[in-house]
Amino acid sequence: MELPAVSLKAIILVHWLLTVWGCMNYMLPVSYAWGNFTVLAVGIWAIVQRDSLDAITMFLTGLLLTVLTDIIHISIFYPSPDYISDAKRFSIGMAIFSLLLKPVSCYLVYRMYRERGGEYTFNIGVGGAGQDRSTYEPIDQPDAPPQWPSSSKAAQPHSLELYSDSTDP
């Protein structure tokens, strides 16, 4: 099943609205707002620079990180049932809905990353050198003749005469 093409602008607009509604009652800390709005600002950068892989990569990374931070914020600052009003219930509901929508947004942004020419390479630098054998070239079996003359050939004695001033042969 192919998902329809979704604009990056639509993703940012939906998450911006849900974040604004999630911050409406000051129930979540300021770090929730700063984290989400900063990632949305990086998303605007990805809209402005359509050919930039860095912008879309940073936006995707930010979305993935805010999934983790949103889980932490909502789980720590969820109000007790005795002190929750309808407005607080709406606000926390929008924050949860934003959290549930982020994996779908991450998948859509990842597709945009691939369309911009990005490749899935996850390298954290743990593997040693030479792990990838696809570009291995054996050095003990040369395919082409050497570029420089071999040192085993003796130098010809008349090679110095080319540079002498005498015209005598």
- For the chain, what are the domain ranges? 5-115
Contact 62, 42 (CB under 8 A): yes
pLDDT category at 114 given cuts 50, 70, 90 is confident
pTM for the model? 0.67
- The 8-class DSSP code of residue 124 comes to -
d(CA 36, CA 67): 10
Give 3-state DSSP helix, strand, coil % of the chain, rounded to 5. 60, 0, 40
Mean pLDDT of all residues belonging to the chain: 81
d(CA 28, CA 20): 11
pLDDT category at 166 given cuts 50, 70, 90 is low
Contact 67, 58 (CB under 8 A): no
Spatial CA neighbour of 131 closest among 123, 141, 139: 123
d(CA 141, CA 162): 36
Comparing 135 with 26, the larger pLDDT belongs to 26
Model confidence over 54-97: pLDDT tens digits? 899 999 999 999 999 999 999 998 888 888 888 889 999 999 99
Spatial CA neighbour of 2 closest among 93, 111, 136, 150: 111
